[in-house]
Structure 1
Amino acid sequence: MSHLALPTFLIFAVTTSSTIADFRHFSIKINSNSRLDSNSAGQVYINSPNDGQYQVWSWNVDHTIRNVATGLCLDSQGYSSSSVITTTCNAASRSQQWFGGPNMGQLFNAATIWCLHVDTNYATKVVTTCCGVGGTVYQTWGL
């Protein structure tokens, strides 16, 4: 039985590295009890840690953040505390490019220059908003 598990792992690793130009997979946490999560419909939200692939992301050299389960990329839908979704990856789209800063733990979007933020009015909704709004505790992400 362990003999079959090893080739499966190797096939997964080769397939992943050859189709996605990422340098690591990780889960993104807002605190010890919540992780950035997604689903096949493209919704993005925070959820309790569950070790599922929808909570695993890769931050790629083209500055996109790709969900491992769906292969879709994190995308900001604009200004005014807009929703964050996942959609078909397009490295040329600035709305899919994410950078660290301006403060430690923040992720800001190249198109809006706004930070990834947990909307406390809806508890689990993830949006982009002006960096620092609502206190950086709702914008401080970690691995």
Structure 2
Amino acid sequence: MGDHEKYISERFIEIIRQLAAGALEQVKSEMPGCITCDLLVDFESWYEDFIKINTSTLSEKQMYLLNEINRVFDEMLKDDAFKCLYIYSEEEIKQSNYKEILESVNWRTIRSLANDLLITLGEENKKLQQFVQISDNVWRKTE
């Protein structure tokens, strides 16, 4: 696997880690902005490339879990069940309805599938990266 493919795989695993995290961790890992949109767009942006690169090494179960995550997102979008969740600061978290949104049946299903996928990949129990503000309107993910 070349550097480009390795980068895509590592980035996608980090996205799966974000999807598997608890609601508060998800907020903190995607803040500031629309938490739910960022989680969805990140998954959709890297999903097909990850599968193309790793198709020969993914098990049936892993493919099933990936496809199920994608299916749940698709259903959410089709059924208008997808809700945006804008949070821009730590202070806004408590005032937001993040629990109502990120602990809905669909998000709990995605969280469970992502956790199962991480276990099959041997990638569970790793700390999530978070954005930190480094100057006005400039944010960077921690390593």
TM-score range, shorter chain: under 0.3
TM-score by length of 1: 0.24
Higher relative contact order (CA 8 A, sep 6+): 2
The structure whose residues are more often strand, as a share, is 1
The structure whose residues are more often helix, as a share, is 2
